[in-house]
Amino acid sequence: MFCVLEYHMSKSVVTVQCAFHAKYTKDPPTDKTICVWCKQFTETGCLCKQKSSGRPLTAEDDVEWAQASFLQSPKKSTGTAAKELSMLKTRVQRVLRKCLVFKPYRIQTVQQLSDEDHRRQLDFCLQLQDLMSSDDHFL
């Protein structure tokens, strides 16, 4: 507020900078900053920081397109969907996670267990139980 009042009285940015340095013994604001403050005060009557726009909201169309695309083909990658929908991959990921609450996953192939494997697991568990019951310091 000091700079705006000083500028209003003197109409000189240099005078404002000298007065600021004399009063606060700090580096003065730049001439561009002083001009922006004066313009803002003239237009709004306030030097309050304006609310920033932040991240743009996700369009409802984007959400609908992504949902339709993944319901039609749920195994599709986000990269493929981004190309089909002409959207950024990160935007598709954000729509899936935030708007549609889909959880990302990667399909993993594992070995199929046979009946012999189940018998071995049971034998191992029984041996472990026997060792634990016979030796108090086993674990």
Alpha helices in 27-134 (DSSP H): 31-44, 60-72, 78-85, 89-94, 115-134
**Contact (CB, 8 A) for 76 and 85:** no
The pLDDT, as a whole number, for residue 55 is 67
pTM here is: 0.40
Distance CA 103, CA 82 (A): 17
Name the 3-class secondary structure at 22: helix
CA 109 to chain centre: 31
Distance CA 18, CA 5 (A): 14
Domain coordinates in residue numbering, the chain: 2-44, 60-99
Write out pLDDT tens, residues 21-56.
998 988 988 989 888 888 888 888 887 877 766 666
Distance CA 46, CA 43 (A): 8
CB atoms near residue 13 (< 10 Å): 20
Low-confidence residues of the chain, pLDDT below 70?
52-57, 139
